[in-house]
A and B are shown apart, each in its own frame.
Chain A
Amino acid sequence: MKKILLVSAIGLSLSLLSGCANKPVVRYGDAAAIETTDINFGSTDLQKIANEMTESLLQSPVVGTMTANKRPIVFVDEVKNKTSEHIDTESLTDSVSTQLLRSGKFRFVDMGKVTAVREQLNYQNDGGLVDPNKAIQFGKQVGAEYMLYGNLSSIVKTNADKSDVYYKFTMRLMDLESGLVEWADETEIRKTRSKEMVGW
């Protein structure tokens, strides 16, 4: 009887112990929380760059004059990524353009959707299925007046105890008619990883 009790006690404790083993847990977190998983380009860097660039652009006196009586039409060119990392720079420009659109001061044309728009207009005008009087006509779109573009570069230094990454993001707004750069700004990020003694 004692043996049975002993065996069942061991079995129970083993099953309890296995219940304490590592299990994947899913939690929702704050999307704007500072992320320091590693030294590479992360969500905090993307948010910092997008927020600072948008703020700087909207507060610029030149842009204030530009947007005083009208909403200029802007197209966003790609950001040149000159770092070693594969960074989704489209996500960066999406964040900037979305925040600018939400400010209500600018309007945007999306060059990434030109092929899809052309296919749709071809369907409406040549497909024979859409009422020709209601089909969207070719040649009615408005062209962009300004181009927004940028560069992202990094300097990385590493030794046995320390890693240092410096990111510099530059953004410019060019008047397509005159070729003048109406606004430019840059933001810097420095991230350092070093070995630290873990204390209580």
Chain B
Amino acid sequence: MKSLLVCIMLFMGYSSPALADYQRNEAVPVDKVLFGKVRSIRQITQSELIEDRNHGWEVFGGALIGGTIGNQFGSGSGRVLTTILGAMLGGSLADEGKQKQQQVTLQLVELIVAIDDGSEFMVVQDFDPNMVFHAKDKIRMIYLADGSVRIDKQM
């Protein structure tokens, strides 16, 4: 039971690092591709607050525990009343707890790239552990048809 509680607590206060959510091996429409080198690189993180809306079970659990406690008091119709009151109290307490927002930390990478034609760009994109950039790496700057820009290594 204790381990279950610890698991629930961990789940409720979980702050997950969000990584790259795109596929580099996917054939998608491209507007143009520029070639160049990485001039400098900086790892940055950005925290975002996301309202947690998935907590039906927490409210249900609170109501269940409240109802069980309320059921211990009174007798006859009084016991029913205390059970209902306990369930309502437990449910509302759990519902109050849900209002807190979940914090998600985005791992980003800020790249300053020098294109072969002499122009320079700064691109901020998701950190991808499968493609870690270093200064002087040869890169491709891909303008995707959906309006976004992505930096890939040439090899």
Contacts and interface: CB of A to CB of B under 8 A. Distances in A.
Q: Which of A39, A40, A86, A88 has most chain B Cβ within 10 Å?
A: A86
Contacts of A40: 25-27
A11 to B, nearest CB: 29
A84 interface: yes
Interface stretch (A1-9, A54-62, A74-82, A100-108): A74-82
A112 to B, nearest CB: 10
A86 B27 contact: no
Contact of A89 (B25, B27, B28, B155): B155
B73 to A, nearest CB: 45
Nearest to B35: A80
A156 B24 CA distance: 15
Nearest to B29: A156
A41 interface: yes
B33 A165 contact: no
Nearest to A167: B27
Interface string B7-36: 000000000000000001111111011010
Interface residues of B, number: 18
A83 interface: yes
Nearest to B131: A86
Contacts of A27: none
A161 interface: no
Interface in B29-73: 29-30, 32-33, 35
B154 A85 contact: no
Contacts of B142: 84
Interface string B144-155: 100000001111
A157 interface: yes
A182 interface: no
Contacts of B153: 86
A165 B25 CA distance: 13
B27 A154 contact: yes
Contacts of A81: 33, 140, 154
A84 B27 contact: yes
B154 A84 contact: no
Given A40-B25, A84-B144, A78 B30 contact: no
A8 B9 CA distance: 42
A84 B28 contact: yes
B30 A84 contact: yes
Interface string A153-167: 011111000010100
Contact of A85 (B26, B32, B131, B155): B26
B27 A39 contact: yes
B35 A86 contact: no
Contacts of B25: 40-41, 85-86
A22 to B, nearest CB: 25
Contact of A156 (B30, B33, B35, B154): B30
A80 B32 CA distance: 12
8 contacts: A80-B33, A81-B140, A82-B33, A84-B28, A84-B144, A88-B155, A89-B154, A154-B30
| Interchain residue pairs A-B with the least CB separation, the first 10 | A86-B24, A82-B33, A156-B29, A84-B28, A165-B27, A84-B30, A40-B27, A156-B27, A86-B152, A85-B25
Given A85-B27, A165-B27, 5 more contacts: A40-B25, A83-B27, A83-B30, A85-B24, A156-B30
